[in-house]
Structure 1
């Protein structure tokens, strides 16, 4: 049974359904157990298709899949109005739609998923905010794309889902330099924990900061650490530290019902 995390602010919006889905409730096995929705993984394709279908059905989709995107850690947002075949996926890191019953989503395994909704306009969005995308403007691009099809940012609710937390996100000095070059104030999102020599990055804090500058109706954070909660979430960094051959991806999705 699927039991996604939900944001309070999005849950009360009429005509909007959403979920930050965990790794629980699917059919995949081994390192992918169990709700792996990443078609780009090396998991059994039949299992991935079934997992994504379960997510779509849970949210009341008119189809048997979630419309996702070929993620590139960019600031590109695309408007979609139908299910696109997987070999024709647009490249970018956010999708927006006003098509009822079309579930849109993004895949993560440490990066930050952000879901958006303007219930009055019937417009929703889903953004994949890794550090490159967040720094480059993917959140701003998502809101702009929503406004392009009738949304008003003063009515938009946004929710940040599960991502890697600052305790687990160790980075190098060049990483810090890139953020400080963009804005000296970004230094506050980096700390060096006691007993450590290298900085750690607060990705959720930075994403919430960027959302806070957009003039939205409300931004909410529902972001337990993906690295620390193995039973609930996949984590690219955790898999890398263990020298595992691959990793699963959880999905965060939203729909105008």
Structure 2
């Protein structure tokens, strides 16, 4: 039954396994139905534990869960002792490892999960990229942490997983300013939306996956793949905080398969 859980993934990468879960295949009740993997959303703790057990049966070991705060800190799990990849939860919004079978994990429900690796599959990174993290450098910090373990000529690739799409992501002028004030070229990722009631103020539709791709390119990532899935619109597959604030979370996990050991 565990093997039947639906997994969203992209093009196969040498040396790397990665995928994003969906909301299907678990035991949680509404509004968390059914494969909620988050412990911080007030779901029944026993049901979350069962969901995680089903999910972890697909993995080579327990995931390194993070306490995510929409920040830019990167946790590194590069100890020679594999057990270090099973340490207590740390506060960070990204993680990096050079260890095989060390499962990195990101929880999302509209924000973007981003998986990064070099083409040789020797260094792995994952990042939780909402607009705040994107604007303040979570992807750049993740790449910098990875490059410490790579040769200067190493080529990076990235997969941007399911997240909210531009037609569903309405933001205020402060979100646009967070990007455009620092880089005027990012204005193309915002489409003005005229409010039905002018007193509400100016609104924009933001292309979150496009902004992530833009910043990855600027940071030197050569090969970038987008999943094309929208968490807001595809309600049968994904949780969406914008659609339903009281909801669950999907997990994106990745691990190196041991080619570099």
| Fold shared per TM-score above 0.5 | yes
Report the Cα distance in structure 2 between the residues aligned to 1:146 and 1:36, rounded to whole angstroms: 30
* 1:71-129 alpha-carbon deviations (Å, 9 max, x no partner): 111111111143445xx422121011122212111000100110112252522111000
Is the CA contact 2:27–2:34 (under 8 Å) kept in the aligned structure 1?
yes
Corresponding residue to 1:74 among 71, 75, 90: 71
Report the Cα distance in structure 1 between the residues aligned to 2:119 and 2:154, rounded to whole angstroms: 12
The residue that corresponds to 2:81 in the other structure is none
Are 2:230 and 1:230 aligned?
A: no
Structure 1 residues 225, 24: closer, same or farther in 2, change over 3 A?
same
What residue ranges of structure 1 are gaps of 5+ in the alignment?
A: 241-245
Is the CA contact 1:147–1:153 (under 8 Å) kept in the aligned structure 2?
no
* 1:25-55 alpha-carbon deviations (Å, 9 max, x no partner): 2222211111111111111222222322333
What is the TM-score when the length of structure 2 is the normalising length?
Answer: 0.86
Cα distance, 1:152 vs structure 2 = 5.8
The residue that corresponds to 1:4 in the other structure is 7
**Structure with greater strand percent:** 2
The residue that corresponds to 2:57 in the other structure is 57
Structure 1 residues 73, 111: closer, same or farther in 2, change over 3 A?
same
Structure 1 residues 55, 29: closer, same or farther in 2, change over 3 A?
same
What is the TM-score when the length of structure 1 is the normalising length?
Answer: 0.87
Is the CA contact 1:27–1:33 (under 8 Å) kept in the aligned structure 2?
yes
Corresponding residue to 1:214 among 211, 219, 226: 219
Structure 1 residues 57, 151: closer, same or farther in 2, change over 3 A?
farther
Report the Cα distance in structure 2 between the residues aligned to 1:131 and 1:153, rounded to whole angstroms: 30
The more displaced of 91-100 and 184-193 is 184-193
- CA root-mean-square deviation: 2.0
Is the CA contact 1:153–1:215 (under 8 Å) kept in the aligned structure 2?
no
